[in-house]
Amino acid sequence: MPMKTKITRRGFNRILGMSGGSLLVTPVIVEAGIASPSQTEGPFYPIAEQDDMDMDLTQIQGRTGRATGKVVQVRGRVLDIDGNALKGATVDVWQANHFGRYSHPDDTNPNPLDPDFQGWGIMQAGDSGAYGFKTILPGPYDISETNTRCSHIHFKVTHPDRAPLTTQMYFEGDPLIAVDTVMEDTPEELRSLLIATQVASKDEGVPVYQWDIVLG
Residues classed as catalytic: 102, 141, 149, 152, 154
Pairwise CA distance, residues 88 & 70, whole Å: 29
Pairwise CA distance, residues 31 & 89, whole Å: 20
CA distances in angstroms from 162 to 21, 76, 121, 165, listed in the order given: 28, 18, 21, 9
Backbone angles phi, psi at 12, to 5 degrees: -70, -35
